[in-house]
Amino acid sequence: MKAEWKLERISKVNIAILKLAIYELNYTDIPFKVVINEAVELAKKYGEETSKTFVNGILASIVKNREEC
């Protein structure tokens, strides 16, 4: 099941963290595990209680989809 979330439902902090992490995944040589770990740490510090799980899930899905291609 694919959830169709509108950007308005996602906090600005989570959007900023995801943008940074996605940039790092696409344009740097930083290992994806490091990128995801740092993004989750930022979400823990600056996001809401559920932010760490949300950010981890989104980034893990992106990495999984990239590996399947």
Got the DSSP string for 2-55?
A: -----GGGS-HHHHHHHHHHHHHHHHS---HHHHHHHHHHHHHHHS-TTHHHHH
Q: Are 35 and 58 in contact (CB under 8 A)?
A: no
User: How many separate domains does the chain show?
Assistant: 1
Q: Which domain holds residue 38?
A: 33-69
**In this predicted structure, what is the pLDDT of residue 3?**
64
**In this predicted structure, what is the pLDDT of residue 1?**
45
Residues 3-45: tens digit of each pLDDT: 676 888 899 999 999 999 999 999 999 999 999 999 999 999 9
Does residue 50 lie within any of the structural domains?
yes
Does residue 16 lie within any of the structural domains?
no
Q: Residue 64's closest CA among 37, 33, 43?
A: 33
Does residue 37 lie within any of the structural domains?
yes
